[in-house]
Structure 1
């Protein structure tokens, strides 16, 4: 092991009788070649095992390695595309998803190229700014440049030197960058202080695993815990109420005795004990009848099973690298976040939806089993844990067709019970993570009806059939754009005519120059266009408008020593406002439209005075 690489190089150079610089010129290209080969092997492992480059966790490490490899290739002039180099390693390692690996590398290289173009301009701006201040570029700026734009620290040093600025890059630079991103990406878990309250209570028997379609049950109240907010946490010996978890909301319903009925508004689990949040309290030791909201439970079950099916379909369509990054189930819609290296387009959405609904129409059984954890992992691998790793020696597995996942949620008994699945939208929630929002069962039908209602409303407005709406909307949009161009052209013509003078126009001689003072009751765009037309003729423009308050535009051609900002400042002050700008073009105004003409009347005097003072 070598503690100081530079010192070791000095020693080797002395032994060989060459300068350290000469040794570096000989050795560094070889070091880069070995590094490229090693990095390509690392990328083959990471991408082949399903890691997708992103801005969080292992995805960010993959992106860092890929960009560093690309930079090394560029530095020593490697002509072969990076995806081909990684593919050589992927082939040797026996990966079957080599086409996907190459697609990911190509996509990332293109992103890196675009990022570099934007980032280099940012480095130049920062270097110029800190050079003017006589200060070094802060380390945080260098980290941000690498993090957001992929600009390597030595590139920052080179550009900074060109502008006369310094930047200190520490040896642990890349470790500091990686530390920014950690391995997160999941939701933070709130620490609970409920553990002490339930420490002496037995675990609650969960009846919803035995019969998820059942909505009523009987139980004994083991304890009632009063909360600080005036509500209660009721503990039962057994329950049909599903506690919030795994992205699935809690069940709601009621608990009843012969004397009282209380509403269950939330359900949580702490150390195996299920807490039923209620607005009243049954007595401790009493028998209660529980009733859950069956319609809500059914819709949640449909959406939870649909989440598994959509995830399976996404892997079939997009590739085996697709992994779940998060999920949230609901009664009207649900969302599934998946790791993928590019946007999911409309054609991919249709294919995912088709595969998902094929599973539904096959009406396969949705089965559960409780194997030992090590047995489940040996048989199915760690792909089981799409929704996270559950605790315990045993894990509950849910089988839907060829899909197997560890899951603690409630599910329908057959895939056909999901009804139908509609993917409503897709969005990129962060680089490398795509969100699929979908609806299942009755919610999917309702979503389809809402879309159809909107289509028919649009058809009525356009007075065409629903099938003709897209073509008609496109035609109207093109006509609107064309009319916009015609309007802009007419405005320019109008500005040119106004610039030639007319009623209310005053010409002011200013030495070798001439100024036009004119009221033009038009919007700001027309004022600017008129001013530009005058300046092109070598004329100073002082224009006022009462179109939206009292506004002024002053433009000064090259070679005329009058400050446009000073003129606007004086005129705008007379209408109760202010304004300013650079010496050649300024604008401003105020609320007093009635004072506009008086302000324009003194404009010639203001121009002459400013000319004399210049």
Structure 2
């Protein structure tokens, strides 16, 4: 898409304010400027950071002041929206909120749901870790930031504002509100794409610093579209969206003109780390040169940066520059990570080896590494709390007990890994004679070993230098930040609608319908009472009768607005049918579904607000729910949860179902609504147990908690780090489970001749007695084996030592004797076992003598049969003449050992 030829960004605003369109003499991009003499676009490396030490704003602002300055500028013209969580529970295609537009994708941007305000303004905490290796190194990169935005959504029948007004708002905020000279501002034209959409955009620069991006989103991906952007085709969409992003930290930095963004946004944290470090290598004059130089070339390289700075500062040698650079990089990265950790912990992220948990663990481990190498006695939690206090106005509350437990637990795991990590590294390098990037990533993922630690271990202990990629952590993040999408092929079906009678009246079990579509054993009726599989609730089953013939309905499946019914036979289209739902299955599923909601609400109450549902499956006899939780759930806690559930059942809470407009539902219940997944309509079906739980859900439910009866937790177990699985049963299924337990207990009482009062003590006594007898038996068997080996006939020769052992009828000792023979280093052994009317000889070899060959020789001489391999073979011999057999074996052993 050529901006020069389309002219779509040639706005009246620029003419009115005497801005000229120019082409950058360095990069060739088109830009708009009020400075007649300007020849560059303002984007580094075409321009340098000229604001450092020379702020263009009339005042200096802190984060809170700049945020309020922006929000108040739009007061009265835009609706202020509160920040969304950084973990986007309302969508399943991304792990973290990277920008404010993520709050409205895809439900609002697709036109399915109205925006919460139009136009709107907000400040949205965001996390981007794709440049994590540059954090601390360039003076400008961050893993977390606030994106200020003013957005508008233009519909065919409602125009709010578009390009002209957007640029004017931006210009007026920068000039009127911040006092920036208009000639210092450049608007660089650059197409934008992302998330299946695209559009024209301006990147806005002031004195070399990008302070905003103004996106005019009016394109959607379309393989047959007329517009090409970087090889992808797009076509126009009816909804036109103004998506702006102003960097709060960038604007704050611009106003202060400090050497780095870190000094501008969290100076107290930076100072605290420097003051407490025993390896401080400060050089304040160097910082400004480092930041300006880092922005003067692409792509970034630490080696190139050190070289360029050394050319500018002849008074410092490269080693001094590198030492100071490494020190500051660690200080700034640690400061930044503490902030991002604070944001994630207020969103109740839990460290693990997958998804968001992995990214949190990465930040924690990097932070522990920096604390160690900076040799500071600061606690990470103290830094996290300092950062939280700086931005607490736009974050949920920080649960200090939760945060402390998470950080302390991860620190212990990190220290344990460092303790065992050295041996793992040395084993690997001794085996491979080198360690490459893949090995470094593997060591980090499996052992949590920082690449610098690995390099130091190998250098110190093996004298081998390892090259650590400058973008190592970025490589790691890229492997764990992508959400896998299932590309399941779905058969094309006609656009049909099946009325869900199970919502109209959940008690309906029999209904009439007309078959609208039929193919093979699948039909789509015009209405149904069969609940289709979804939300962890299995499909109903039952029967369908057509023309006097009954078919089994095996599974119902929702596809768009249609509900497919899979049968054990075929029914033609336009046939009238009678459906009958299996009440037993439906009632069990319904009871378990309502019990799941009650249990989840109780788990949050008892365990904490960090609990989120990650998976669920309802069944007839048992159901399960997977939740986020950082430690094993104890038996005492399980009992507390069960008691709380029983209390709610006795109180008889009404279970209400309401269909609410998306934004209205969020206003009432918040983002906990998305426990069970992401709804695909413009309304959310909210199932609420008043005072206990409210979540979006499409399943079938009881009308009151009293109908559940009671809930029995069968077991709670970790299924992966940070995830606990709770298996439970409810209602009739719970009663059946308890009755089964009681029957088993009664049977144990009968077997052990005990009573209910002392059955546990009796079983424990029997168990301990049995354990004691097993130990005694094991000791006796070992003594027998020792005597058998000691009384065996030993035969020596150039080929090693052999032994002939007679076990008599103690066949059960053969395995122990075999182990004893091999453990003594004996080359070959023969063990004779007496059986009724026959003898069996086992030949055991360490490998140099073929056991099967020796067995065949013995079989030939005795008329027996041989079988086995080179290490273990057996000869079965009729007769019981052990003296003869011992004599033959002795001769054979001497023969093979002297060969």
| TM-score range for the pair, normalised by the shorter chain length | 0.7 to 0.9
Provide the TM-score with structure 1 as the length reference. 0.83
State the partner residue of 2:567: 278
| 8 Å CA contact 1:573, 1:590 repeated in 2 | no
State the partner residue of 1:243: 532
Provide the TM-score with structure 2 as the length reference. 0.58
State the partner residue of 2:663: 374
State the partner residue of 1:306: 595
Tell me which of 523, 529, 532 is aligned to 1:233: 523
CA offset digits 1:100-119 (Å, max 9, x no partner): 12112222223333444454
Tell me which of 20, 45, 53 is aligned to 2:343: 45
CA offset digits 1:1-59 (Å, max 9, x no partner): 36222221233345153332333333423332332222122112112212111222111
Tell me which of 398, 418, 424 is aligned to 1:122: 424
Distance in 1 (CA, whole Å) between partners of 2:608 and 2:670 is 17
CA offset digits 1:131-186 (Å, max 9, x no partner): 2xxxx44543332221121122233334444446675543443333334334558x
State the partner residue of 1:557: none
State the partner residue of 1:354: 643
Distance change >3 Å, CA 299–CA 532, structure 1 → 2: closer
Aligned with 2:675: secondary structure?
Answer: coil
State the partner residue of 1:63: 361
Of stretches 64-73 and 82-91 in structure 1, the one that deviates more from structure 2 is 82-91
Distance in 1 (CA, whole Å) between partners of 2:775 and 2:443 is 40
CA offset digits 1:590-611 (Å, max 9, x no partner): 344679636631266247626x
Larger-gyration structure (1/2): 2
State the partner residue of 2:370: 72
Distance in 2 (CA, whole Å) between partners of 1:552 and 1:84 is 68
Distance in 1 (CA, whole Å) between partners of 2:366 and 2:856 is 58
Distance in 2 (CA, whole Å) between partners of 1:488 and 1:210 is 69
Aligned with 2:714: secondary structure?
Answer: strand
State the partner residue of 1:181: 480
State the partner residue of 2:874: 590
CA offset digits 1:429-486 (Å, max 9, x no partner): 2111111111111111111112222222222222222443333333333333333333
Aligned with 2:676: secondary structure?
Answer: coil
State the partner residue of 1:546: 833
Distance change >3 Å, CA 565–CA 198, structure 1 → 2: same
| 8 Å CA contact 1:233, 1:277 repeated in 2 | yes
Distance in 2 (CA, whole Å) between partners of 1:81 and 1:577 is 67
Distance change >3 Å, CA 47–CA 606, structure 1 → 2: farther
State the partner residue of 1:559: none
Aligned with 1:337: secondary structure?
Answer: strand
State the partner residue of 2:178: none
Query: How far is the alpha carbon of 1:262 from its aligned partner?
Result: 3.5
Distance in 2 (CA, whole Å) between partners of 1:404 and 1:390 is 14
Alignment pair present for 1:395 and 2:684: yes
State the partner residue of 2:755: 465
| 8 Å CA contact 1:571, 1:600 repeated in 2 | no
Distance in 2 (CA, whole Å) between partners of 1:268 and 1:515 is 70
Distance change >3 Å, CA 461–CA 400, structure 1 → 2: same
Alignment pair present for 1:216 and 2:216: no
Tell me which of 6, 12, 37 is aligned to 2:309: 12
Aligned CA RMSD, in angstroms, stands at: 3.4
Matches within 5 A, 1:412-561: 412-501=702-791, 505-506=792-793, 517-521=804-808, 523-524=813-814, 526-527=816-817, 531=821, 542=829, 544-546=831-833, 550-552=841-843
Aligned with 1:395: secondary structure?
Answer: strand
Distance in 1 (CA, whole Å) between partners of 2:834 and 2:446 is 44
| 8 Å CA contact 1:495, 1:529 repeated in 2 | no
Tell me which of 261, 266, 269 is aligned to 2:555: 266
Query: How far is the alpha carbon of 1:276 from its aligned partner?
Result: 2.2
State the partner residue of 1:145: 443
State the partner residue of 2:405: 103
| 8 Å CA contact 1:217, 1:289 repeated in 2 | yes
Of stretches 453-462 and 563-572 in structure 1, the one that deviates more from structure 2 is 563-572
Distance in 1 (CA, whole Å) between partners of 2:743 and 2:796 is 66
Aligned with 2:361: secondary structure?
Answer: helix
Aligned with 1:413: secondary structure?
Answer: coil
Distance change >3 Å, CA 466–CA 184, structure 1 → 2: farther
| 8 Å CA contact 1:359, 1:401 repeated in 2 | no
Aligned length: 575
